[in-house]
């Protein structure tokens, strides 16, 4: 079996800041596989589109079942692949997704079977990013009661874990905090008090048995992160996500000064970058995004490395439904899985329509797709409402 061509697509959505980057890899046996670069948000989507286009030219004529051979080709023969960042690895990830999809369809089994078999079928998940509401449209929580109300709503739907960035909007005028001038360095007590006020309200709203993950989006630096963590420790935070710009040294500083588990990962790429966090034990939960860390091939290796250090895994999932399917296929296999991220973007209609199946959790629990391959594929709407190039 040989790869014959690759379609690369940038999907048009009603939200100009949400630009999914997709690919479909075709073979001479009529089997195709779908992939996604998890850079739909931020400013890197067009770069990911170009990266997949360039990488696709390298794999024409290769055997799609030789995923390790293809991966090493994309990593070693591209110059920028070695020690690359999000754009390079998102491109590799998208192609890798598609190859695993082809492999599963070729052997007529779900990907998890090819990864060694699932250890559990009911994957606990949490409602993610509740500062933006929990519904099929975008909202912004500014008043403290809005944070509490969003948390209650998710818990009423059956979730026993939630995640919120409490340091996004000001209470005075609802504006976003300036990430450069207001949230770095040692923080003013106003900011620390505001965050604690919101955490306290959410804890009271959901009760003692719901896990709260505190999102930071790398907004503070190490000093501010320590201030915030110490202020909220008494509210029993499940883990403290992306407390500062990812760095194994500053992560270690934070870990040594607080009593909450730390997580990092959505801006860490490949096993080489993760290794430093494992070696100094600065994180307790890793969050590799399979759509930008190197795909399922690399993601499995990262998770296995983490297991050696007793570090838990929660895949970062903030892209389209194909990325959700890929994450579920891997998470059910690894012994160090802790919880799955169900992002509020997965509730938005223009995102749910990207694939033919709309997998959603029930009572805060996900089932693993059982169809061959990833268990999902792009919808006709995604394939037609896009800018597309074909590499062959």
> What is the radius of gyration, based on Cα positions, of the chain?
20
At 173 the pLDDT is 85
Q: 3-state class of 54 per DSSP?
A: helix
State how far the Cα of 168 lies from the Cα of 178, in Å rounded to an integer: 9
Q: Determine phi and psi for 356, rounding to 5 degrees.
A: -75, -20
At 194 the pLDDT is 97
289 with 6: CB under 8 angstroms? no
At 174 the pLDDT is 85
Q: For the structural domain made of 1-108+377-389, what CATH number should be given?
A: 3.30.390.10
Burial 350-386 (b: 16+ CB within 10 A, else e): bbbbbbeeebebeebebebbebbbbbbbbbeebbeeb
CB atoms inside a 10 Å sphere around CB 35:
31
Least Cα distance to 328 among 133, 143, 129, 104 occurs for: 104
Q: If you search the block for the tokens 């997580």, which residue do you land on? A: 263
Going residue by residue through the chain (392 aa), what tens digit of pLDDT does each one get?
Answer: 999 999 999 999 999 999 999 999 999 999 999 999 999 999 999 999 999 999 999 999 999 999 999 999 999 999 999 999 999 999 999 999 999 999 999 999 999 999 999 999 999 999 999 999 999 998 999 999 999 999 999 999 999 999 999 999 998 788 999 999 999 999 999 999 999 999 999 999 999 999 999 999 999 999 999 999 999 999 999 999 999 999 999 999 999 999 999 999 999 999 999 999 999 999 999 999 999 999 999 999 999 999 999 999 999 999 999 999 999 999 999 999 999 999 999 999 999 999 999 999 999 999 999 999 999 999 999 999 999 999 99
Angle at which helices 86-107 and 67-76 cross, to 10°: 170
| 133 conformational bin, left if phi > 0, alpha if psi -120 to 50, beta if neither | left
CB atoms inside a 10 Å sphere around CB 390:
13
DSSP secondary structure string for all residues of 115-135: TT--S-SEEEEEEE-GGG-SS
Angle at which helices 67-76 and 295-308 cross, to 10°: 90
CA 217 to chain centre: 12
Least Cα distance to 303 among 332, 324, 282 occurs for: 332
Specify the DSSP element, H or E, that contains 237.
strand 237-241
Fold of 112-365: TIM Barrel (3.20.20)
Give me the residue spans of the domains in the chain. 1-108+377-389, 112-365
At 172 the pLDDT is 77
CA 160 to chain centre: 20
Angle at which helices 295-308 and 86-107 cross, to 10°: 100
Q: Answer whether 1-108+377-389 and 112-365 agree in fold.
A: no
């Amino acid at each position: 079996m040989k790869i014959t061509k690759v379609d690369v697509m940038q999907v048009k959505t009603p939200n100009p800041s949400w630009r999914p980057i997709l690919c479909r890899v075709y073979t001479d046996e009529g089997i195709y596989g779908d992939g996604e670069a998890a850079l739909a948000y931020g400013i890197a989507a067009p770069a990911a589109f170009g990266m997949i286009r360039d990488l696709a030219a390298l794999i024409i004529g290769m055997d799609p079942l030789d995923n390790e051979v293809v991966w090493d080709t994309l990593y070693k023969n591209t110059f920028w692949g070695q020690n690359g960042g999000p754009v390079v690895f998102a491109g590799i990830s998208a192609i890798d997704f598609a190859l695993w999809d082809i492999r599963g369809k070729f052997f007529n089994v779900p990907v998890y079977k090819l990864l060694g078999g699932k250890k559990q079928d009911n994957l606990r998940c949490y409602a993610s990013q509740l500062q933006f509401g929990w519904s099929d449209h975008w909202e912004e929580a500014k008043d403290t009661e809005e944070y509490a109300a969003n948390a209650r709503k998710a818990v009423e739907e059956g979730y026993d874990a939630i995640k919120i960035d409490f340091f996004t909007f000001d209470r005075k005028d609802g504006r976003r905090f300036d990430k450069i001038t207001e949230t770095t360095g040692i923080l003013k007590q106003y900011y620390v008090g505001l965050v604690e006020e919101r955490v306290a309200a959410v804890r009271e709203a959901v009760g003692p048995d719901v896990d709260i993950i505190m999102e930071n989006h790398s907004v503070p630096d190490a000093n501010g992160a320590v201030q915030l963590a110490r202020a909220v420790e008494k509210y029993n935070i499940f883990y403290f996500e992306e407390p500062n710009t990812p760095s194994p040294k500053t992560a270690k500083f934070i870990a040594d000064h607080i009593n909450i588990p730390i997580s990092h990962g959505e801006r860490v790429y490949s096993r080489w970058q993760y290794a430093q966090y494992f070696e100094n034990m600065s994180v307790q939960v890793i969050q590799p995004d399979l759509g930008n860390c190197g795909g399922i091939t690399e993601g499995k290796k990262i998770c296995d490395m983490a297991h050696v250090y007793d570090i838990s895994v929660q895949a970062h999932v903030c892209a389209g439904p194909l990325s959700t399917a890929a994450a579920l296929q891997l998470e059910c296999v690894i012994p160090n899985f802790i919880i799955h991220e169900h992002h509020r973007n997965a509730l938005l209609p223009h995102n749910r329509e990207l694939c033919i199946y709309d997998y959603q959790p029930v009572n805060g629990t996900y089932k693993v797709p059982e169809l061959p391959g990833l268990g999902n594929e792009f919808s006709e709407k995604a394939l037609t409402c896009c800018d597309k190039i074909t590499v062959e």
